[in-house]
Amino acid sequence: MTTVSKIEFKKAIEQGIPKELPPKKQPSPGANRAPKRKDILTPEEKKLALRNALRYFPKSWHEELAKEFLDELNTYGRIYMYRFKPDYDLYARPIGDYPARCRKAAAIMLMIQNNLDPAVAQHPEELITYGGNGAVFQNWAQYLLTMQYLSKMTNKQTLHMYSGHPMGLFPSSKRSPRVIVTNGMMVPNYSQPDDLERFNALGVTQYGQMTAGSYMYIGPQGIVHGTTITLMNAFRKILDKGDTAQGKIFLTSGLGGMSGAQPKAGNITGCITVCAEVNLNAAQKRYDQGWADLLITELGTLVDRVREARQNQETVSIAFHGNVVDVWERFYDEDIFVHVGSDQTSLHNPWSGGYYPQGLSFEEANDLISSDPDTFRKQVQESLRKQTELINKHAEKGTYFFDYGNAFLLEASRAGADIMAENGIDFRYPSYVQDILGPMCFDYGFGPFRWVCTSGDPKDLDTSDAIAAEVLKKIQKEAPAETELQNQDNVHWIESAKENRLVVGSQARILYADAEGRIKIASAFNKAIADGEISAPIVLGRDHHDVSGTDSPYRETSNIYDGSRFTADMAIHNVIGDSFRGATWVSIHNGGGVGWGEVINGGFGMVLDGSELAEKQLRAMLFYDVNNGISRRSWARNEEALFAIKREMQRSPGLEVTLPEIVEDELLEDL
Ligand SMILES: NC(=O)c1ccc[n+]([C@@H]2O[C@H](COP(=O)([O-])OP(=O)(O)OC[C@H]3O[C@@H](n4cnc5c(N)ncnc54)[C@H](O)[C@@H]3O)[C@@H](O)[C@H]2O)c1
């Protein structure tokens, strides 16, 4: 921790880009650094990248900075402007610590700083929160300017963010969103992977992932509830009735930003989790944070420890430092049966450090990415073919393998792996959305609702947990049989959330809930803030990975079967619809989760301050935010969504949704 007083912190924020050129800085030693990005620009384009970077600074600094930025571009493939990284620590401070003329802007600053907190972010020096390339900003100048704008914004202005660049404050109204965020929005023909490399290197676009560039990341907790729901139900698929996951094996990979949630979810499910991770820093971090019980670095030791855990029917999570392909291979050779398997390497980003091929050390792979990208690409594809072959062999013995939305099936198929089903159209293995989350959660409107207590006080989080549990239990009493299991799992989740020690960074909570649950919980929070039971505003949000908001044909919308899963109308309607119904900020991104060009995803943030206006806004916006997705899913003839939207129409005046007439299959076959 550096010692910067609160006053110095406020001054630094209000100053934006410093008046004096700060001394040259090296990235913090020991930081988990982003891999060198592809050197893709021509010499002429490099000049353009420098011109673009230098426009943030006074002319008198250009000569000195031009050389330094060129050096950064050549060394790292991007211009991060390390020199301008602030001297104060970045983390979610209590809301009152932020200099601001409007409380909502202060809440947004808190959320931004949380996304850049080294305890939370994957590559904090490069402003990357998770997923290898999920950026909050492209460079430190954008960060400084954005914080400065937020510090002077009134509640009648809106800040417009273009892929990390703050275009500026524009007059608006009290009821308008305070910030509008777009990330990576391209003219459709320019969404090939190399387009991202080129335009990102030029400094004109960025990959916002889902909750990185939308300031809504809450550490691996953000995904752990969804991962637990998925894992519990994956085991339910293969276990006999009455049997439990105790002592059964779940093999997977990745201990990064999101994937780090897997061992915790495994422990909550009660199984033996083996999670392979090639980056020792990442494995150590999750182990130190208590998200994995053991850290093992040698394959033989792993085999022995797993056998012991099987014998003792343990619940234990093991972080293994090594390549996941080696583990699949060794477990096959040693005849260790894997009950459930998955993968959470960052295959949405396969060519620049998202996936590390078998046979290369972490360091060797990182070198090859920039020194010989073609060879690296070939090795990734070879490794994917090998991994698939091994998974197929395990599956023949009965392993249930599922894709957890990291584009594993897609990239393995592109690598020519034996991964297609007999019909040559589908994959051999299901995506977790097709088999589990889609029909069980999204189609009914259940999704990863979340909140952050801006006081930073754990007591407020406890109060909010208790309020949410009380609301859910009331809903549970009247819930229809169709959603009994979901309600039961959610009540159990919130009641044990504290003891599962999920908080990393801001005082945040995730909870799967449907529209009714989200609205009632939010309304109860707003009242508790007004009554002083909760000491400061609460920020509401959700993962973009939800019922609505995200159009992603191989993930969130993979269980849409009317052909519309390749369209992105729903995500756009969400952000526009949410923005005029009361969202404090909205965001729309190209490329989160499964890769650039493969998905459009949108989300919101909403600050509850205990006011009457907040009450009106939360009702209008949360209702639309969820039901937009259910309507689209019901129009696609998804049975569960049809059930949910008909029920909603019965109880909600003013809601009138177009329903599909279902044509008889026989009629079409006879044609
Ligand atoms: N469906 C969902 O809800 C969901 C949730 C979380 C993540 N995801 C997806 O999962 C992927 C991972 O997300 P993340 O945020 O954890 O990314 P991340 O980049 O932070 O972590 C991935 C980790 O995998 C490791 N890795 C890569 N290749 C490996 C290999 N062969 N063997 C062992 N380890 C290897 C990397 O070192 C890295 O630490 C992304 O594609 C993301 O979009 C999906």
Say yes or no to pLDDT of 2 above 70: no
Q: Please write the tens of the pLDDT for every residue from 310-353.
A: 999 999 999 999 999 999 999 999 999 999 999 999 998 899 89
Q: How far is the CA of 257 from the centre of ligand 1 (A)?
A: 7
Q: How far is the CA of 222 from the centre of ligand 1 (A)?
A: 14
> How many beta carbons lie within 10 A of that of residue 393, not counting itself?
13
C-alpha span between 109 and 159 (Å, rounded): 12
Q: How far is the CA of 404 from the centre of ligand 1 (A)?
A: 10
Q: How far is the CA of 258 from the centre of ligand 1 (A)?
A: 7
Atom of ligand 1 nearest to the CA of 555: 1
Q: Please write the tens of the pLDDT for every residue from 95-132.
A: 999 999 999 999 999 999 999 999 999 999 999 999 88
C-alpha span between 486 and 33 (Å, rounded): 40
Q: How high is the mean pLDDT of the chain? A: 95
| Residue whose CA lies nearest to ligand 1 atom number 27 | 355
Question: Given this model, what pLDDT does residue 222 score?
Answer: 85
Question: Given this model, what pLDDT does residue 1 score?
Answer: 57
Ligand 1 pocket test, pick from 216, 258, 388 with the greatest ligand atom count within 8 Å of Cβ, gives 258
Mean pLDDT within 544-552 = 95
| Residue whose CA lies nearest to ligand 1 atom number 12 | 346
What does DSSP assign to residue 36?
P
| Residue whose CA lies nearest to ligand 1 atom number 43 | 593
Q: How far is the CA of 107 from the centre of ligand 1 (A)?
A: 29
SS in 3 state form for 473-515? HHHHHHCCHHHHHHHHHHHHHHHHCCCCCCCCCCCEEEEEECH
Question: Given this model, what pLDDT does residue 3 score?
Answer: 73
Atom of ligand 1 nearest to the CA of 323: 32
Q: How far is the CA of 596 from the centre of ligand 1 (A)?
A: 15
Say yes or no to pLDDT of 536 above 90: yes
Q: How far is the CA of 131 from the centre of ligand 1 (A)?
A: 6
| Residue whose CA lies nearest to ligand 1 atom number 21 | 256
Question: Given this model, what pLDDT does residue 469 score?
Answer: 98
Atom of ligand 1 nearest to the CA of 383: 31
Atom of ligand 1 nearest to the CA of 556: 1
| Residue whose CA lies nearest to ligand 1 atom number 44 | 405
Question: Read out DSSP for 632-668?
Answer: HHHHTT-HHHHHHHHHHHHHSTT-----PPPPPHHHH
| Residue whose CA lies nearest to ligand 1 atom number 31 | 356
Ligand 1 pocket test, pick from 344, 347, 550, 556 with the greatest ligand atom count within 8 Å of Cβ, gives 344
Q: How far is the CA of 405 from the centre of ligand 1 (A)?
A: 10
pLDDT level of residue 273 (50, 70, 90 thresholds): very high
Beta bridge partners of 606: 540
| Residue whose CA lies nearest to ligand 1 atom number 7 | 258
Total residues found in the chain within this entry: 671
Query: How remote is the C-alpha of 330 from its chain's centroid?
Result: 31
- Pairing status of strand 316-321 against strand 272-277: parallel
Ligand 1 pocket test, pick from 115, 120, 277 with the greatest ligand atom count within 8 Å of Cβ, gives 277
Question: Given this model, what pLDDT does residue 403 score?
Answer: 94
Q: Please write the tens of the pLDDT for every residue from 574-633.
A: 999 999 999 999 999 999 888 899 999 999 999 999 999 999 999 999 999 999 999 999
What does DSSP assign to residue 291?
S
Mean pLDDT within 58-78 = 97
Q: How far is the CA of 203 from the centre of ligand 1 (A)?
A: 25
Beta bridge partners of 249: 272
Atom of ligand 1 nearest to the CA of 593: 43
Q: Please write the tens of the pLDDT for every residue from 625-669.
A: 999 999 999 999 999 999 999 999 999 999 999 999 999 999 999
Output the ligand 1 site: residues, CB below 6 A.
122, 130-132, 223, 226, 253-259, 276-279, 282, 323-325, 344-348, 354-356, 404-406, 545, 555, 593
423: left (phi over 0), alpha (psi -120 to 50) or beta: alpha
pTM for the full model? 0.89
Cα-based distances in Å from 463 to 428, 496, 509: 46, 14, 12
- Pairing status of strand 316-321 against strand 400-401: unpaired
Which carries the bigger pLDDT value, residue 289 or residue 462?
A: 462
> How many beta carbons lie within 10 A of that of residue 45, not counting itself?
13
Q: Please write the tens of the pLDDT for every residue from 212-252.
A: 999 999 988 888 888 999 999 899 889 998 899 999 999 99
Q: How far is the CA of 432 from the centre of ligand 1 (A)?
A: 15
Ligand 1 pocket test, pick from 210, 345, 347, 360 with the greatest ligand atom count within 8 Å of Cβ, gives 345
Atom of ligand 1 nearest to the CA of 355: 28
Q: How far is the CA of 342 from the centre of ligand 1 (A)?
A: 11
C-alpha span between 522 and 16 (Å, rounded): 34
Q: How far is the CA of 32 from the centre of ligand 1 (A)?
A: 15
pLDDT level of residue 425 (50, 70, 90 thresholds): confident
pLDDT level of residue 75 (50, 70, 90 thresholds): very high
Atom of ligand 1 nearest to the CA of 349: 41
Angle between the N-to-C axes of helices 373-396 and 362-371, in degrees from 0 to 180, rounded to the nearest 10: 130
Q: How far is the CA of 254 from the centre of ligand 1 (A)?
A: 5
- How many percent of the chain have pLDDT more than 90? 88
pLDDT level of residue 500 (50, 70, 90 thresholds): confident
Question: Given this model, what pLDDT does residue 393 score?
Answer: 98
C-alpha span between 552 and 557 (Å, rounded): 5
Both tokens of 468, joined, read: 């949410």
Q: How far is the CA of 356 from the centre of ligand 1 (A)?
A: 11
C-alpha span between 265 and 359 (Å, rounded): 29
Question: Given this model, what pLDDT does residue 241 score?
Answer: 83
| Residue whose CA lies nearest to ligand 1 atom number 40 | 346
Helix (H) or strand (E) holding 629: helix 612-635
Q: How far is the CA of 319 from the centre of ligand 1 (A)?
A: 14
- For the ranges 30-34, 155-159, 547-551, which has the lowest average pLDDT? 30-34
Q: Please write the tens of the pLDDT for every residue from 354-397.
A: 999 999 999 999 999 989 999 999 999 999 999 999 999 999 99
| Residue whose CA lies nearest to ligand 1 atom number 17 | 131
Question: Read out DSSP for 322-361?
Answer: S-HHHHHHHHHHTTPPPSEE---S-TTSTTTTSS--TTS-
Laid out side by side, the sheet with 400-401 consists of: 294-296, 316-321, 272-277, 249-253, 340-341, 400-401
Q: How far is the CA of 409 from the centre of ligand 1 (A)?
A: 14
Atom of ligand 1 nearest to the CA of 132: 19
